[in-house]
Amino acid sequence: METRGYKQNRIVIMLVALAGMSVYLLPYFRYYYYDAYVSYFGINDLQMGTLGSIYGVLAIVGYCLGGWIADRVSLKLAISGSLVVTGLGAFVLLLKPAFPIHVGIYALWGVTSIMTFWNPCMKALRALSKASEQGRGYALFDMTRGILNFLSGLVILAAFTAVTKKVGEANGMTGLILFYGIKAIIVGVAVYFALLKHLPKSLDSNTEKDASFGKNVLKALKMPTTWCVIVIMFMT
């Protein structure tokens, strides 16, 4: 199991890419269905901005802490658990809760889609390819995620348009949220069993639990590679 590489894990990498797409559908779908979303929940533009802001703040915190967390948790549990909890948030949203609870759901998604998901996802992805195959592994992941985003976006938008013409916009939104929630949960369960079988067991016996978070950050900040990547991302 420890010697499995890119060729043996291509299907698993594509499943992880599906997970990487599915976990973000719920936090971001409000942008693509803005008018329908506002009408469905009876909120205004300022409140919509608040939802995005709280998600963004938690995402920033999540990116800062995510790597530290990824070195201390079971990757398969973190990835699959994040998807399942994200999906369950959709069912709470369907109840059309009071706005503070609505904000709380987006705060939760800021944690489950970034802090407990993204860095564990990247660490698992790296483990699914050998050292000489990392480029191919990441390329397959990004390519699959991009294609799935493009195709699913077209299909779901077309389906939403067709459904709303027959049953109304409100019922269409209910079906859309329900679909995204169920999909996240199903993908979460599927990716758990896939990683259980294909992920090296050594990754679930982390040796970094006693390492200092502050020392880890300082170590990363002293690396020229870190600043090189930061400058590239900023300039882009």
pLDDT tier for residue 1 given thresholds of 50, 70 and 90: very low
In whole angstroms, give the CA distance from residue 40 to residue 102: 13
For helices 45-70 and 118-127, angle between their N-to-C axes, nearest 10 degrees:
40
* pLDDT at 81 (0 to 100): 97
Domain residue spans of the chain? 6-204
Map tokens 């719920």 to a residue: 26
Residues in the chain: 236
- The average confidence (pLDDT) of the chain is 90
What's the one-letter identity of residue 231?
V
What's the one-letter identity of residue 217?
V
Give the residue among 163, 176, 188 at the shortest CA–CA distance from 25. Answer: 176
Domain 6-204: CATH architecture, name and number where available = Up-down Bundle (1.20)
* pLDDT at 203 (0 to 100): 67
Give me the mean pLDDT over the 24-28 stretch: 95
Name, in order, each residue with C-beta under 8 angstroms of 128's C-beta and a sequence gap of 6 or more: 4, 6, 9, 12, 13, 16, 137, 198, 199
* pLDDT at 3 (0 to 100): 53
Asked if the model's pLDDT at residue 214 lies above 90, the reply is: no
Give the residue among 7, 19, 4, 5 at the shortest CA–CA distance from 193. Answer: 19
Better-scored residue on pLDDT, 27 or 209: 27
Contact 114, 20 (CB under 8 A): no
CA 10 to chain centre: 20
CA 64 to chain centre: 16
Digit-coded pLDDT (tens) for 158-168:
999 999 999 99
pLDDT tier for residue 212 given thresholds of 50, 70 and 90: confident
Digit-coded pLDDT (tens) for 35-69:
999 999 999 999 999 999 999 999 988 988 888 88
Contact 40, 177 (CB under 8 A): no
